[in-house]
Amino acid sequence: MAPRDPEAKRRQLLEAALAEFAEHGIAGARVDRIAVRAGCSAGLVYTYFGSKDDLFDAVFDHVVVRTVEEFPLDAHDLPEYAGGLFDGQTAHPEVMRLATWHRLESEGRAPVPAITKANEEKVAAVRAAQEEGVVTDRFPAEHLLMLVINTASTWSVQSREITDLADDDHARRRATVVEAVRRLVEP
């Protein structure tokens, strides 16, 4: 008999839940479908995470931590940071769907600590780059960070009716994002 690996099972559950939540949102997701995707019982889901809402929070936290690790902010090169985010969003559209569900269904829910912490650190880094004169100070650091992130997300958050008007060449779209952010942040 193979030894149990609780951490591996937890990762399986998080990945299965990511797929389910990205497809159905919090309200539409079903713990039994998550369990089937992860190859375990629904009871095990509750054992690990307590509730469906707690599981969603754990998935979202996991995705945020992974994204911060994969795409660390370099406040001295915000255009390339935006390009990296664009690459990640293109490669993992399920993450953007999850983020959309989070925005739609987060009313009354507590803020996700990983997001708050990551954004506070990013704002501080942008502010420091502004003070060094490397990045424009035309906008407050918080606003500039939101503009950079939203520019990187341009193709991920728009409807097909508009995105299909532009060619679908990834390199050209990425270059557009990078250049737009470069112009936005240059002092």
Average pLDDT, rounded, for the chain? 91
- Where does a domain end: 59, 82, 105? 59
98 occurs within a structural domain: yes
Q: Are residues 20 and 106 in the same domain?
A: no
Instruction: Tokens 């990762």: give the residue.
Output: 11
Per-residue pLDDT, averaged over 14-36, amounts to 94
Q: Are residues 157 and 91 in the same domain?
A: yes
Q: Which residue type does 176 have?
A: T
> CB-based contacts of 169: which residues, under 8 Å, 6+ apart?
none
15 is in which domain, residue-wise? 1-59
Q: Are residues 157 and 186 in the same domain?
A: yes
Q: Are residues 12 and 83 in the same domain?
A: no
In angstroms, what CA-CA distances link 80 with 50, 67, 129, 166, 183?
39, 15, 15, 21, 12
Per-residue pLDDT, averaged over 150-160, amounts to 85
**Which of 91-95, 141-145, 156-160 is least confident?**
156-160
Is the sign of the CA dihedral 33, 85, 153, 74 positive or negative? positive
Question: d(Cα 187, Cα 168) in Å, to the nearest integer?
Answer: 31
Q: Are residues 176 and 86 in the same domain?
A: yes
Q: Are residues 23 and 108 in the same domain?
A: no
Q: Is 148 helix (H, G, I), strand (E, B) or coil?
A: helix
Overall residue count recorded for the chain in this entry = 187
Per-residue pLDDT at 167 exceeds 80: no
Confidence of residue 92 (pLDDT cuts 50, 70, 90): very high
In angstroms, what CA-CA distances link 170 with 25, 77, 99, 121, 147?
27, 20, 21, 29, 21
Q: Are residues 36 and 82 in the same domain?
A: no
64 occurs within a structural domain: no
Per-residue pLDDT at 34 exceeds 60: yes
What are the tens digits of pLDDT across the range 53-80? 999 989 988 998 898 899 999 999 999 9
Rounded to two decimals, what is the model's pTM?
A: 0.85
66 occurs within a structural domain: no
Confidence of residue 145 (pLDDT cuts 50, 70, 90): very high
39 occurs within a structural domain: yes
- Where does a domain end: 59, 86, 103? 59
Evaluate whether 17 touches 56 at the Cβ level (below 8 Å): yes
pLDDT at res. 105 = 87
Q: What is the CATH number of the domain that holds 169?
A: 1.10.357.10
Q: Are residues 53 and 77 in the same domain?
A: no
121 occurs within a structural domain: yes
Q: Are residues 169 and 93 in the same domain?
A: yes
Task: Report how far apart the first and last C-alpha atoms of the chain are (Å, whole number).
Answer: 63
Confidence of residue 2 (pLDDT cuts 50, 70, 90): low
Q: Are residues 42 and 94 in the same domain?
A: no
Domains held by the chain: number: 2
- Where does a domain end: 19, 34, 59? 59
95 occurs within a structural domain: yes
Q: What is the CATH number of the domain that holds 29?
A: 1.10.10.60
Q: Are residues 79 and 35 in the same domain?
A: no
Confidence of residue 3 (pLDDT cuts 50, 70, 90): low
